[in-house]
Amino acid sequence: MRSKESLLTACLFLTMLSVTANASTLITGVTATASDEYWAPASLTIDGSGLDPAGLHGTDWGTFWLANSTSAGLWIEWTFDQVYELDKMQVWNCPDYWIRGMKYVKIEYSSNSGTTWSTLSPSYYLSPRPDDGNWPHTTPFGYTDEISFGGVSADKVRFTTLAAGPNHGGDTTGLAEVRFFGDISTPPPPARGCIKEGKFGRAVRFQSGAKYWVEASLLPEYVQTPVTIECWVKLDSDTDYNVFLAASLKESPKHWEIYTDSGTGYCSCYLPSKDPQGANSGFDIVNSQWHYLAMVYENNRVRLYVDAVKKADVSLTDTSMPPNNDGPLYFGGYPPDAIGCDGLLDEVRISNIVRSIDQVPTGPFVSDASTIGLWHFDEYTPGVGFDDSSPQNNPARLVPPPANLAMKLDRGVTIDRWYSTIPSQPNFQQSDIQLIKSMGFDYVKLLVNPAPHKSGNTINTSSMWYIDAIVNLVINEGLSAVVTIHPDSTFKTTVLSN
């Protein structure tokens, strides 16, 4: 019988990979806006226009952001597609004689979509481009400043001109180009991709299948009537059910949940201890738009509201339902049934009264004497979770925790041909993955060439079970799995080209 070590040698091509952690990488998901875009838009600072492959910028003023202002208070702002740990920023200031660059600026950053701002520098001097002796300048130039951010977490950066010297002279102010660099491999908590721009501040982005969710302890007040539950949702798909909020387990008479129906996107609620067992609004809210939802639940009545319009009003009677174990308060899914939510959830408020739902809120929910739960989802504190802004102070935790949601790709092995024949059981077992884990690796790269197993001009999906089998072996040991397609010329020409 072969040992684990010989099995690895005989069956695999094993390659150790070392990836430098916290590498500084160009961030590409950036948009830009400014308080003044009279002559040219701020987007010209991040589109690469005017830059050559060597990183030199030309002098065509049609490639600059250009404001019709030289006053203090002029600002330009860059927004990232997610929160990054910023390393540095490179700036190409405006080069032309008539079009002068920014001079003294306040540099700020935000990690919650601009809800709050932190100051990196209260007064930063932006250098002009070097004088090439021509009038106007004609020589391409490199970046004029490199600003260190020191690894701060941010999804926005802003420059604001100061009275000490808004620009380097002339009648206009502008910038040629900027570039941001940061760590895109190891996200700050919570896991990159889960926290997005919300209706007010930030929101949690959930997925179908309850791959992760948020939960809080179930307080008795949440399941006592009357109770009013309000939230904001933005949903992208009705292929499956979308559960936004669920209290306790479905087997419990205390259970309630708010969700959308599969296939219709109708906003609905489920109340298993009542007859009828809930209400259906008949109104589709799955359209990638923000909607304000509310459920007003009394002992003998439930009402559903969409954007402050009553869509359902149902009388209820009690049914005989035996007591059962309680579960937590779930946000973004019902994990016991692997039901998730394909969209964003923001601003959840629970109140112990019948609230009047007669207008759409224009700002974040506020806590009052009747508020028993309030989660804004703007900040996630490791080890604590999302703060509860109500007097109950019942934080909601991301499950699994942030560290487990991100793929860790620091040291890994590449596995090729973990099977001998198809069909067959893979000759790679759980004990082999455990050995890899014990050697200090955190991911496994699986190299697969589907060409020999194609059917006609398509991959024979009936033989793809072996990929699923090995992936499950890997992730069950807490390692990340990366599946890559072998660069086989026959596969590329006969399968990918058809």
For 459-483, the pLDDT digits (tens) are: 555 555 567 677 777 776 777 888 7
Are 152 and 294 in the same domain? no
Q: Which of 127, 161, 183 is the last residue of a domain?
A: 183
Are 309 and 226 in the same domain? yes
Q: Which domain holds residue 100?
A: 25-183
The reply to whether 369 falls in a domain is yes
Return the higher-pLDDT residue of 20 and 25: 25
The enclosing domain of 43 has a CATH number of 2.60.120.260
State residue 267's pLDDT score.
Answer: 97
The reply to whether 366 falls in a domain is yes
Are 235 and 119 in the same domain? no
State residue 461's pLDDT score.
Answer: 53
Which residues have CB under 8 Å from 301's CB, separation 6+?
313, 314, 315, 316
The reply to whether 66 falls in a domain is yes
- CA atoms 182, 184, 185, 186: torsion sign: positive
> Residue range 215-219: average pLDDT?
94
Q: Which of 352, 387, 403 is the last residue of a domain?
A: 403
Share of the chain above pLDDT 70, in %: 78
Question: What are φ and ψ of residue 105, in 5° steps?
Answer: -135, 150
pLDDT band at 19 (very low <50, low <70, confident <90, very high): very low
CA distances from 381 to 378, 387, 396, 400 (A): 10, 8, 10, 14
Are 338 and 474 in the same domain? no
User: Any bridge partners for residue 90, and if so which?
Assistant: 146, 179
| C-beta separation of 373 from 355 below 8 A | no
Share of the chain above pLDDT 90, in %: 44
| C-beta separation of 101 from 83 below 8 A | no
Q: Which of 403, 437, 467 is the last residue of a domain?
A: 403
Are 397 and 441 in the same domain? no
pTM of the complete model: 0.48
The reply to whether 125 falls in a domain is yes
Are 413 and 398 in the same domain? no
Question: Would you state the structure tokens that stand for residue 461, as one six-digit string?
Answer: 């999906």
The reply to whether 189 falls in a domain is no
Are 223 and 333 in the same domain? yes
Sheet order of strands, 213-216 included: 278-284, 266-270, 256-260, 242-247, 329-331, 213-216, 397-399
Are 361 and 441 in the same domain? no
- CA atoms 61, 66, 69, 73: torsion sign: negative
Q: How far apart are CA 426 and CA 437, in angstroms?
A: 19
Q: Which residues of 443-475 are buried (b: 16+ CB within 10 A; e: fewer)?
A: bbbbbbebbebbeeeebeeebeebbeebeebbe
Are 440 and 355 in the same domain? no
List pLDDT tens digits, range 119-137: 999 999 988 877 666 666 6
* pLDDT exceeds 60 at position 214: yes
| C-beta separation of 43 from 32 below 8 A | yes
Domain count, the chain: 3
* pLDDT exceeds 90 at position 314: yes
Question: What are φ and ψ of residue 402, in 5° steps?
Answer: -50, -40
